[in-house]
Amino acid sequence: MSLVEVAGFTVKNVETLAIDLSKVSERLGKPLHGVLGHSVLNGRIVQIDYPNRVVRFYSQPFLKAANTPKRSVLSFRYSDNVLLDDVFVNGKKVVGNLDTGSSGAFNLTPAAVGYLGLEEEFNQAPVSTDVGYNGVSQNRQGKVNNVTVGAISVDAPAVIFFGKGTGRDKKPWGINIGNAFLKDFVLTIDYRNKLAMLERP
């Protein structure tokens, strides 16, 4: 157990895990010393203001806003990931994983590729190399017609098709939603009430 302090915000008795982040640091071009995970964020309200590059912690819930084309409030469940049920790919409902540690926009698991009938797109897509805390993996880069997250719709987005055997074969989600999509939003995650809000500034 450890003590974590971030700009005057203190969390005691944090579960910690030692992992090698050297490959991720190399890819970022600067050192990455750690990752703030669920043991720090659980029970808290955290806001990541991507456009202004600011992280805020709140003590009171405030996610009462209505959905609009620029703002979406979504319920989530937590199962080792922040899982969203109100996500659609090409009009078909899939479980989304809200992943603030991913540099990509949208990534589809092998199971989702099959469920969505995208095998041909997968086979024709060029191979790409990705680096994460699990190491280096070979995937494929392509496009889908549409991804909709709550009330926010994106036409013809680029996606990464995760290859079989890259560690994403049996995930409880079908699409990973990462920072290349989130970077245009202010993201607020209320871990107490299991609500997430995406809002364009």
Q: Where are the domains of the chain?
A: 2-199
Dump pLDDT digits (tens) for 92-104: 999 999 999 888 9
pLDDT digits (tens, 9 = 90+) for 57-99: 888 776 667 788 788 999 999 988 999 999 999 999 999 999 9
Kindly report the average pLDDT of the chain as a whole number: 83
User: Side-chain half-sphere of 195: how many Cα atoms within 13 Å?
Assistant: 14
Range ranked top by mean pLDDT from 28-42, 118-132, 138-152, 174-188:
174-188
Cβ 198 vs Cβ 71: under 8 Å: yes
Q: Per CATH, the architecture of 2-199 is what? A: Beta Barrel (2.40)
